[in-house]
Amino acid sequence: MRILLTNDDGIHAEGLETLERIARALTDDVWIAAPEYEQSGAGRALTLSDPLRVRKVRDRTWAVEGTPTDCVMMGVRELVEGAKPDLVLSGVNRGQNLAEDVTMSGTVAGAIEGMALGIPSIALSQAMTYFHDEVTAHWETAEAFGPGIVRRLLEVGWPEDVIMNVNFPALPPEQVTEVEVTRQGFRDNHMRTFEKRTDLRGRNYYWMGFTGKLSQPADGTDLRAIYDGRISVSPLHIDLTHMPTVNNLKGVLGGAPPKA
């Protein structure tokens, strides 16, 4: 099996090192194309107005001055020699990718680009623990369970227009006892915020971030699984059409367009 790795935290991220160990537990045929710089929150952005520069880091490993989408496209179409990859793994992200945040996630976007290129793709993320000024990421949890989950997913398979979004809870491996197949949740509060600051020249600027306030998610969602210390596996696809509204509108908006 040939595996292409990418992420959105950058070529030097600890999570990418974890992902490489996960991949090498499955095969020796591992290739890496990851962003030169952090691309968290880049979503499915594609670099169109600037040239893409690629730096070879070592054998079968490249840093791309672009987004995760750029990296996977370059990896599959240009950098990986010979046969195209059999699997794309994106991550392991520093922090969870759940609920509505999956639409902004560069980690998820890397997997979506793999799917768009006809390759089974999985996004992996490690939730973190925040305590005062300390942030703890249990990379050993993703490493302990990642190979088995990926192997099992490959055994059962999934539709070609679907990616798998895997999130590991912010716990050490010995405290994780369950895996749950979940649906994408939606938070009942708005986590994103910003702080207005002033630089030394008296000019205002804004720093984006998250409040860290927890929601009250429903059972069966990715949020609830992670909150309760379970590994979440969510099948995702990019068809955002809301069919009930389509069906409702057909009766009132179909046919000749209304005039002003």
Domain definitions of the chain by residue range: 2-185+217-253
pLDDT, tens digit only, all 260 positions of the chain = 999 999 999 999 999 999 999 999 999 999 999 999 999 999 999 999 999 999 999 999 999 999 999 999 999 999 999 999 999 999 999 999 999 999 999 999 999 999 999 999 999 999 998 766 678 899 999 999 999 999 999 999 999 999 999 999 999 999 999 999 999 998 876 667 889 999 999 999 998 877 767 778 899 999 999 999 999 999 999 999 999 999 999 988 988 888 87
User: Which CATH entry fits the domain spanning 2-185+217-253: 3.90.1300.10, 1.10.10.1150, 3.40.1210.10, 3.40.1380.20?
Assistant: 3.40.1210.10
pLDDT at 192: 73
What residues contact 15, with CB distance under 8 A and at least 6 apart?
A: 7, 9, 91, 92, 93, 94, 126, 137, 139, 142
Helix (H) or strand (E) holding 130: strand 128-131
Q: Is 28 annotated to bind ligand? A: no
Residue with tokens 């623990």: 129
pLDDT at 74: 98
Burial of 127 (0-12, 13-18, 19+ CB in 10 A): buried
Model pTM? Answer: 0.93
pLDDT at 72: 98
Cα–Cα dist 178/117, whole Å? 32
Provide the token pair at 216: 């009250």
Q: Is 40 annotated to bind ligand? A: yes
Provide the token pair at 203: 């000019």
3-state secondary structure of 96: coil
Cα distances (angstroms) measured from residue 96 to each of 60, 82, 89 = 28, 34, 16
Q: Is 93 annotated to bind ligand? A: yes
Q: Is 9 annotated to bind ligand? A: yes
Cα–Cα dist 60/150, whole Å? 21
